[in-house]
Amino acid sequence: MLNDIEEVLYDAEQIQRKVRELGEQLSRDFNGRNPLVICVLKGAFIFMADLVKSMSIPLELDFMAVSSYGVSTKSSGVVKIVKDLDTPVEGRDVLIVEDIIDSGLTLSYLIDVLERRNAKSVTVATLFDKPARRTVELEADYTGFTLPDAFVVGYGLDYAEKYRNLPLIGILKPEVYIK
Ligand code: XMP
Ligand code: MG
């Protein structure tokens, strides 16, 4: 699996340290608000698990799956809810946990959905951000790492459903997907 990685951008230890910092910051900022923490599946599942372990406050979790990408590495621009939340968001302080923001389309769609459902507040925490690729104006409230414009895998992120279990984030060798 590691043979397919051209360059490691952040190793497991660097990611763990950053996620812990974000969790501690979020604990301070959401103290007393019982946030509904929403994991955007599948990519954010590892980040979500590590993040909430560093949050020392009462909170609730839910999961949502959206799709904007097929097996390709380019966004289709179409966002669709594949699995919806089980929890009503009306009146809740919602924290969206995302793996990566690329064009921003997925997130702007999600924020819109949650606001239309009358969430009290919508906050976004993303571990990775590729600001160079934005097509809609949007910024996360909490960002772990800013990445260059390259397709990355690991720490939850996949190429064709593989590499999610790598504990690091790295750039995939182009020959893996240009076939
Ligand atoms: P948008 O363009 O809507 O995309 O901001 C967000 C979603 O696209 C996926 N994505 C990636 N997945 N490596 C991946 O494995 C990448 O470099 C990458 N860039 C975007 C991801 O699912 C994210 O939630
Ligand atoms: Mg993906």
State the CATH number of the domain containing residue 72. Answer: 3.40.50.2020
Measured CA to CA, the distance from residue 177 to residue 179 in angstroms comes to 6
Tell me the two tokens of residue 42: 């599948």
Closest residue by CA, ligand 1 atom 24 = 100
**Is 55 part of a structural domain of the chain?**
yes
What's the CA gap between 88 and 175, in Å, rounded? 44
Find out whether 171 and 157 touch, Cβ atoms under 8 Å.
no
Helix residue ranges per DSSP H, 30-140:
45-53, 105-116
Please report the pLDDT score of residue 155 as a whole number.
98
pLDDT, position 80: 86
Residue nearest to atom 23 of ligand 1 (CA): 100
Report CA-CA distances (Å) from 12 to 15, 40, 89, 99, 129. 5, 21, 33, 15, 17
Domain that holds residue 103: 12-150
Q: Which atom of ligand 1 lies nearest, measured to the CA of 133?
A: 2
Q: Is the ipTM of this complex over 0.85?
A: yes
Cα(101)–Cα(105) distance, integer angstroms: 8
Task: Please check whether residue 170 lies inside any domain of the structure.
Answer: no
pLDDT score at 75 = 56
**Total structural domains within the chain:** 1
Q: Measured between alpha carbons, how far is 135 from 64 in angstroms, rounded to an integer?
A: 23
CA 5 – ligand 2 centroid, Å:
17
Spell out the per-residue pLDDT of the chain, length 179, in tens. 899 999 999 999 999 999 999 999 999 999 999 999 999 999 999 999 999 999 999 999 999 999 875 545 555 567 889 999 999 999 999 999 999 999 999 999 999 999 999 999 999 999 999 999 999 999 999 999 999 999 999 999 999 999 999 999 999 998 998 76
Q: Is residue 175 part of a domain?
A: no
Both tokens of 129, joined, read: 């951000």
Ligand 1 pocket mutation, candidates 45, 100, 136, criterion most atoms within 8 A of CB: 100
